[in-house]
Amino acid sequence: MGQSQGDGRLAVPPRPGERLPLAQYEPTELRVTPYGLLLYYNQTIRLGSSVTLDLTYHPNQGLDEQAKVTASLSLSS
């Protein structure tokens, strides 16, 4: 049986009226712990921005090695 894997991406879209591309960041640190996926981002986001965190987790435990869990979280101030 394989080992669990995870991936995450933090995206910061431009503010309305800004002509900047979508900023995407990889985690500074990513660990699969006995309690779940731990992602650490060391980014400063401007006040008034929104962020989206996309997560993918491959548990690779049991009979289905292709199992995948995804989640998308959006926050704005």
Structural domain containing residue 51: 5-76
Please tell me the pTM assigned to this model: 0.66
Overall number of domains in the chain: 1
pLDDT in tens, 3-50: 777 778 888 877 777 777 777 888 888 887 888 778 888 877 777 678
Q: Which residues of 20-52 are buried (b: 16+ CB within 10 A; e: fewer)?
A: eeeeebebeeeebeeeebebebeeeeeeeeebb
8 A C-beta contact, residue 37 and residue 57: yes
Token pair 């779940």 is at which residue?
A: 36
Task: Compute the distance between CA of residue 16 and CA of residue 6 in angstroms, rounded to an integer.
Answer: 32
| Predicted pLDDT at 7 | 79
| Predicted pLDDT at 53 | 86
pLDDT band for position 1 (50/70/90)? Answer: very low
